[in-house]
Each structure stands twice: as C-alpha cells, then as structure tokens.
Amino acid sequence: EHKELISFKPFVTRTCHSIAMAGREAPLLAAGYQSVRHQSCCAVYDPERAEPAAPAWEGATNETVCSLEWLPDGDGAQLLATGTSAKWMRIYDTRVPQNEASVVISVHAHDGGVGGIRAALMPMDENYLCSFSADAVDL
C-alpha cells in the first residue's frame, strides 16, 4: 500500500541543504534552507498534522542551515542541532515557539561553515556532538 506524497516547501523558494528525520516517537522532518532576507532557514514539519505542509516550527532566521541532527533525549524533548554557513552550531528546543527563547546552546564551532553535524553516543556521556567543516573535524 502506498501513501500519498506530501510536499514540504518553504514560504520563499530556495535551496534545501540538509534534512533530518526524528525518531518513531516523534516523526518530524527538519529541513535546512539557504538564507533569504528575514526568513527562517530551518523548518520542522509534522507529517501527522492536519496541515502537514505548513511548518510546525521555524527557526534560524537569516543564516543558512547547512546541517541538521535530531538529538537523542530520554525525556521526549525535541532538540534539534543545526550547523550554519556562518560557523555556528546551535541547539534548538523545537517545542518552544520561534519568537521565544528556543536556542538552548549556541557555539562558534569552526572557522568555516559547519558542513555536517552528528550526535555522538559515547559510553561515558551521550552529550557529545561531532561536526566538520573544510578546516577540521571536531568532537
């Protein structure tokens, strides 16, 4: 059995640089977009909503989002790590509306744009992120 295709499009058409699916508990799709003046560059879509094509959450205004990673969290929090072309790595709580303080952590991660980001499950501590850019790979 095939399900109907759902298209997720930003309000202003632009390049999508990265996507990430959350786990089965919260089947959310995050998309990272090219920066466009006064537009959110990260959108989270919920395919199970009545109107799935409209973003359930938006963030990262005016900075290109190059990489995304949903972070594992035992308490059901919906934390999303983003890497930007402006050298920043930010973690957002997507349960908090964009116009409120949804940034949990903001770190100047690299000397160049953050090309990729992944959660690192370390035996001693699950709170690690790996990221890379043209200049380095960081843990």
pLDDT at 32: 94
Q: Give pTM, 2 decimals.
A: 0.84
pLDDT band at 34; cut points 50, 70, 90: very high
The residue-averaged pLDDT of 90-111 equals 82
pLDDT band at 83; cut points 50, 70, 90: very high
| CATH architecture group of domain 16-138 | 7 Propeller (2.130)
Domain extent listing, the chain? 16-138
pLDDT band at 36; cut points 50, 70, 90: confident
Long-range pairs, 129-132, Cβ under 8 A, ≥24: 129/69, 129/71, 129/81, 129/89, 131/67, 131/83, 131/89
- Identify whether the C-beta of residue 33 lies closer than 8 Å to the C-beta of residue 10: yes
